[in-house]
Structure formats: structure tokens, C-alpha cells
Amino acid sequence: MELVRAHYGDVLSERSMDVLEKVFSHPSILTRYLSFDTELDVLSLKNEDADRRMERFTHWSTALSQRAAVAALAQVGASAADIREIVVNTCTGYICPGVSTYLLEAMKLDRGVRVFDAVGSGCGGALPNIDLATYSLHANPKGIVLSVAVEICSATYQMDNDMSLLISNAIFGDGAAAAVLWTRPEGLRIIDSAGCIDTSFREDVRYVYKQGKLHNKLSVQLPKVVRTVVPPMIDGLLERNGLSRGDIQHWAIHPGGDRMVAALEEALELTEEQMAPTRQVLQDYGNMSSPTVLFILKHLMDRGIKPGEKVLMTAYGAGMSAYACLLEA
């Protein structure tokens, strides 16, 4: 808050300062990570023009994607030479050619590796990314497909007295996560997936462009919207696989924010223990948009998933869009 008051005291009203003070002091988020070279860059965010912002997005989306990809490959004992395709999703910046091409270059991959970029899916984007990667894997089962979700949310920070921007600035952080998809028996098996887009709620959660910069738009009704859209989509996925919520041992649920976590905990009739991984990742990293749900899945895997146990991974975001993926160890 000291930095905010020192550098944005001429921009923000006292009411806005009070809101930020309240959000910053909430225990649901204790730490976040932002992509800047130096502390001076953080302080100059106020005067960061659109061109400089996209330069920063390009640099850090590539760097974080590479870091996540290398870690994912190392964890499963795979080599970059095994990669046949890359799918990268993001919603916090647009560059052409896409982030996937920069990642291909940074990892020194063969130029024949196929690359795909998905934009505009918001916080739920990692799951349709995995869907696309899965379809690609069916078409070409040899080798592996690398699925990467990366967001430089700080490249969308705008500071004024708009409530959506105040909340966004206080809860979103930067991050990237990668998943290795293959046809080998090791790892989690994808059983099925589902998605739902209800455009009647489009204005409740989205980015809008103003003067060449992205501005986040979050409705105060978002917890109610999430309760309306997400549980029926999950129940439909489970029902067509002959399952119910009680058959799921592990839940990886995108947090959004503390109010959305509470709303889904109640709507899905889950316990505090089942929601603990979601709350832990939110506390440690904030809302990183699309990579967040993969961080939660990693948390569950590190904690231990027994053979035969099922995992329900779900994320939601712009649109209003919601996605779910059913996994089994």
C-alpha cells in the first residue's frame, strides 16, 4: 500500500485506497509474482505505454513458458526432442507470430515442430488447450504434445477508480504452467472433458480494449454467475460417465477469488479439505488466470493420487466460459 499511495495518490480516491487496503490485507492471497526486470520497472508501470507493455509481455511470456516447459519435461523424464506439437494459450497479450513460435526458438526445437496459439479463453484457457492437444495427439500418437498456459497479468494492470481494475490489480499475478501429453501409460489418463459458453454473461467477465490497452471487467455478480454456469456443466460431464460428485477423490478448481471459491464450495457441496488445494495455490500465487488450475493439479499430484482415483479439474473465465476435465490415475 505504501507504493500505491506514493505513486498513485494523484490518481486514486480515498475510497479506492480503502478498497485496496481491504483486499491487500485479506488472508486469501499472501504472495504473488510479477514479471519485471527490476523494482524500478514496477514503479514505472504507471507510465508504461502500450508498445513497452507488449515488449514486456513478449519477453516474459516466452521466458515463463520456457521455464514451465523445461520443468514439465524434466518431471516426466522426456526430452525436448520428443516434442511434435506445441499448443500455447494466453489472454493477457497478443503478438503475431504467436508465443508458441518464440518458445520454439527459445527451446531450440526443430523448425518442423507444429505450433498453435489459442487466445481469448480467459482464466479457463488451459483446459480447451489440453483438449486441442489431445485431439492432436490422437492424430499423431508418436512423440509428445506440449500444452502451455501463460499469462502476464501485470501487462493488463490499469490503475484508476474503476472497481474492476482495483480488484484485478490486487488479486492477479503472472505465471505459466505446462503439461506433457502422450499415449504412454504413465501419468494421469484423460477420461473425458466438457465445456460451456453462456454469452448472456459476457459483460460480467471479460477484457475490453481502451486506448490500445486491456482493461479487465469483473462484475460484482460474478460469484452468482459462476454458481449458475459451472456446477451443471460438471454434473453433465460426470453423469455421462456414470459418475457423481461423490466418486471424485480430488478436485482442482480454478479459484477466481475468495468469493468464487466459497460459492463453488457451497454449490458443489465440497468440504474444506477438498477445496484446500485451490485455496493454497490462491494464497501462494494469487489468481494467475489460465495457469492456475494446472498449479492446483500439480499440488494434488505432489500430495499423492492413488491408482484408480479420479480428479475433476475445472476452470472458468471470459465469456462466460467454463470447462472441466475428468482424469484418472
pLDDT value of position 159: 83
Q: Are 159 and 232 within one domain?
A: no
Structural domain includes residue 6? no
pLDDT tens-digit series, residues 29-45? 999 999 988 765 665 67
**pLDDT at residue 204 tops 90:** no
- Classify the phi-psi angles of 253: left when phi > 0, otherwise alpha if psi is within -120 to 50, otherwise beta: beta
Structural domain includes residue 2? no
Q: What Cα–Cα distance (Å) separates residue 146 from each residue in 29, 86, 87, 104, 126?
A: 30, 5, 6, 11, 12
Q: Are 295 and 311 within one domain?
A: yes
- Give the mean model confidence (pLDDT) for residues 44-50: 75
Q: Are 36 and 125 within one domain?
A: yes
pLDDT value of position 176: 98
Structural domain includes residue 246? yes
pLDDT tens-digit series, residues 174-187? 999 999 999 999 99
Among 181, 207, 222, the domain boundary falls at 181
Structural domain includes residue 65? yes
- Give the mean model confidence (pLDDT) for residues 94-120: 96
Mean pLDDT of the chain: 93
Among 146, 181, 216, the domain boundary falls at 181
Q: Are 248 and 316 within one domain?
A: yes
Q: How many domains does the chain have?
A: 2
Structural domain includes residue 76? yes
**pLDDT at residue 277 tops 90:** yes
Q: Are 227 and 278 within one domain?
A: yes
Q: Are 176 and 290 within one domain?
A: no
CATH assignment of the domain containing 84: 3.40.47.10
Structural domain includes residue 156? yes
Structural domain includes residue 12? no
Residue 189 β-bridge partners:
328
pLDDT tens-digit series, residues 134-154? 999 988 888 899 999 999 999
Q: Are 165 and 304 within one domain?
A: no
pLDDT value of position 43: 57
**304 class by beta-carbon count within 10 Å (0-12 exposed, 13-18 middle, 19+ buried):** exposed
pLDDT tens-digit series, residues 7-36? 788 888 999 999 999 989 899 999 999 998
Out of 71-80, 208-217, 278-287, 314-323, least confident range: 208-217
Structural domain including 127 reads 26-181
Sorted by sequence, the CB contacts under 8 Å of residue 161 that are 6+ apart come out as 11, 12, 13, 15, 16
- Give the mean model confidence (pLDDT) for residues 295-324: 96
Q: Are 233 and 150 within one domain?
A: no
How many residues are recorded in the chain?
329
- Give the mean model confidence (pLDDT) for residues 81-87: 96
Most confident range, picked from 49-53, 197-201, 219-223, 278-282: 278-282
Q: Are 35 and 166 within one domain?
A: yes
Structural domain includes residue 9? no
Q: Are 224 and 109 within one domain?
A: no
Q: Whose grid coordinates read 515442430? A: 113
Q: Are 214 and 108 within one domain?
A: no
Q: Are 173 and 250 within one domain?
A: no
